[in-house]
Amino acid sequence: MKFVKDFTWKPGMNVNTLVGNMGNIGFQSIELNNAVESIVKMKKDGAKIYLTFTSNMVTSGLRGFFAQLIKLNMVDAIVTTVGGLEEDIMKAHGEEFIIGNFATDDIELNEKGINRVGNLFIKNESYSRFEDLINPIIKDIYKKKNRWAPSELFNEIGKTLNDENSILYQATKNKVPIFCPAITDGAFGFHLFMFQQNNPDFVIDVVKDFQNILLSTSHDEKKGIISLGGSISKHHAILACLLNGGLDYAVYLTTARHTSGSMSGATTDEAKSWGKIKDASDAATVIGDVSITFPLVMISALEKLTEQGIIKNDE
């Protein structure tokens, strides 16, 4: 039996100690600490770890952290939406996004050619420059062969980048596949469509990639997921693991609520009714803004794993 303990600050407190002490406060603080323990266990158990996230998290400054996690061998596969991969390419080529605010005149922003993602602003020029960048890459890829699975395509694009903070760059360098089942749902999809009008034999084979993600694991292999947000990126990884016997470890971090009946709000408990997560799995659901909860959870887990010699940071 555990009891609530008063939280106090001590000079020099590291993130691991902070989150560990939060595990005795109550409410979501306990789930935050549970999430850390689940991540540590999945890594120590040698589980194949699927990291899923939505594009808005790449719009934010979490992009470089995702790339670092790949470099640290904390991730075995990524599932995401295409907007984040577009913005990863943009940032790899020097594009900078603006910190604005939530309370702004959106009509005025539109007149100025600025797009708002929460309290972050992206100029139209960034997408124009993305078009100039991506079209030559698509042409070069087409010269190599005319049929690509999305994960193969993103691996090839990663070869063209030279940015340590790029998700695509690190994924290609460290042989981590990136799956994007909704590849057409963004600017990149539009450019693929336009290219195909003049090259009708050019095919992006999403069904082939469904095979690839299914074969990325097996029934016998331990499997874990760290899911940030929801949508198709979350479900695609869970479905692949369901068809391979279910997840042994699961950590969900989201702002969505289970009462909506949505995939984004579905908890790890609800997933057990589908067999997506095994009955005896080690799981946690943290409700809160991922830009706050994920750095706390993951840094605490990294500090634990570093102390135990499971991962090594040469930086």
Question: Mind listing the pLDDT tens digit for each residue in 23-43?
Answer: 999 999 999 999 999 999 999
Spot the catalytic one: 71, 276, 278, 304: 276
Query: For the chain, which ranges sit under pLDDT 70?
Result: 314-315
Is 272 catalytic? The answer is no
C-alpha distance from residue 224 to each of 7, 25, 90, 101 (Å): 31, 27, 30, 35
Predicted pLDDT at 270:
80
Asked if residue 108 belongs to a domain, the reply is no
CATH of the domain at 274: 3.40.910.10
Is residue 73 domain-resident? yes
Tokens of 179: 């799956």
Residue 60 lies in a domain: yes
Q: Tell me what pLDDT residue 230 has.
A: 83
DSSP H or E stretch at residue 20: helix 15-22
Domain of 282, in residue numbers = 48-96+124-291
- pLDDT tens column, 138-155: 999 999 999 999 999 999
Whether residue 242 is contained in a domain is answered as yes
- Residue 306 domain-assigned? no
pLDDT at 315: 56
pLDDT on residue 111: 97
Q: CB–CB of 255/288 below 8 Å? A: yes
Strand order in the sheet with 98-99: 98-99, 120-123, 114-117
Q: Which pLDDT score is estimated for 202?
A: 98
Task: Please give the Cα distance from 40 to 34 (Å, whole number).
Answer: 10
From 57, 69, 22, select the one nearest 164 (Cα to Cα). 69
Cβ neighbors of 115 (< 8 A, separation 6 or more) are: 109, 121, 122, 123, 124
DSSP string for residues in 162-181: --TT-HHHHHHHTT--EE-T
Nearest to 174 by CA among 77, 57, 298: 77
Q: What is the pLDDT of residues 104-133, one digit of tens each?
A: 999 999 999 999 999 999 999 999 999 999
Domain contains 37: no
Which residues in 169-183 are b (16+ Cβ under 10 Å) and which e?
A: bbbbbeebbbbbbbb
Q: Do the domain assignments include residue 243?
A: yes
DSSP helix/strand/coil, 126:
helix
CA 81 – CA 156 distance, rounded (Å): 17
Predicted confidence at residue 268, as pLDDT, reads 77
Name the nearest CA neighbour of 76 among 8, 144, 156, 177.
177
Domain for residue 305, yes or no? no
Tally the domains of the chain: 1
